[in-house]
Amino acid sequence: MPYEPPKVWTHDAESGGTFASINKPTAGAQFDRELPRGEHPYQLHSLATPNGQKVTILFEELIEAGHPIEYDAWPIDISEGEQFGSGFVALNVNSKIPALLDATTGEDVRVFESGAIMLHLAERYDAFLGESRTEMLSWLFWQMGSAPFLGGGFGHFYAYAPEKLEYPINRYAMEAKRQLDVLDKRLGVSEWLAGDDYTIADMANWAWYGQLCLGRLYSAAEFLQVHTYGNVVRWAEAIDARPAVRRGRMVNKLSGEDESMKMRERHSRADFDGR
């Protein structure tokens, strides 16, 4: 039967798919819980989703490039609703990972939204901004605006919705492929998204589109025929081979079949020894 929207929408916790038990139409803390705090000026609270990996990859790239920084990374298990604890909500009123506490100036400063955290760190160390800051910012914000259609749109209806529905899957598959084509055309004329330099725009876009093309998101590589976007695949494989990217993917990773890639917490470079 076709769905007929009611005059007034009400929340139905049984109809939300995989994350129905934690999704609510309200904001704010749902329980009291203080966040742990390590010894480093940067305290990251996150999870190894694409949005979380953007920031841990950047941290590891900064360290790889020789910047004298360290950070503690603590897991926020969104499947258990930990993002609604009072301590985390104080860092991010939107209850989404990642969130960063920056105490490098002697005062606690919160930074939330993955793109904002990346730009905050890149500007702090004048790194991975590229020669054309304007071009880099365009691609960084393109990712921030486009990826919700890939994750919350395609990913939700293809992988997480309680039933497979043809219309939304077709609608968001078309948009996902259009976005891949945007990237493919750009990477056909430029080695990196912002030009000749590897930047935070590449890291941010790779976390979503690169990993999609590497078969790591939604088991949808065949469905979307990602191999046909040859320029994106070339770019994705080049970034995937970077040591800092491999490390960044591990941080706050709680699930997956490969035990060697899991790292619940990260407190020093030595945590990667032997991996």
Quote the pLDDT of residue 37. 98
Q: Averaged over 60-76, what is the pLDDT?
A: 97
250 CB contacts (<8 Å, ≥6 apart)?
A: 48, 261, 262, 263, 266, 272, 275
Domains and CATH numbers, the chain: 1-127+257-275 (3.40.30.10), 133-241 (1.20.1050.10)
Structure confidence by residue, pLDDT tens digits, 195-241: 999 999 999 999 999 999 999 999 999 999 999 999 999 999 999 99
Residue 258 backbone phi and psi in degrees, to 5: -85, 105
Peptide bond connecting 98 to the previous residue in cis, omega within 30 degrees of 0: yes
Band of the pLDDT at 16, cuts 50, 70, 90?
A: low
Band of the pLDDT at 257, cuts 50, 70, 90?
A: confident
239 CA to centre of own chain? 15
- Looking at the chain, the whole-number percentage of residues with pLDDT higher than 90 is 91
Residue 43 backbone phi and psi in degrees, to 5: -120, 110
Residue linked to tokens 């999609």: 212
Query: Which of the pair, 32 or 11, is modelled with greater confidence?
Result: 32
Does residue 266 contact residue 71 with C-beta atoms inside 8 Å? yes
Using a 10 angstrom Cβ sphere, with 0-12 exposed, 13-18 middle and 19 or more buried, the burial of residue 16 is middle
By DSSP bridging, strand 71-75 and strand 99-102 are: unpaired
| Whole-angstrom distance, CA of residue 264 vs CA of residue 253 | 6
Burial pattern 36-71, b for ≥16 Cβ within 10 A else e, equals eebebbbbbbbbbbbbbbbbbbbbbbbbeeeeeebb
Quote the pLDDT of residue 243. 97
Q: What is the sign of the dihedral through the CA atoms of 259, 36, 82 and 63?
A: negative
Strand order through the sheet with 109-112: 71-75, 42-46, 99-102, 109-112
Residue 85 backbone phi and psi in degrees, to 5: -70, 150
CA dihedral (215, 216, 219, 225) in degrees, to 10, reads -30
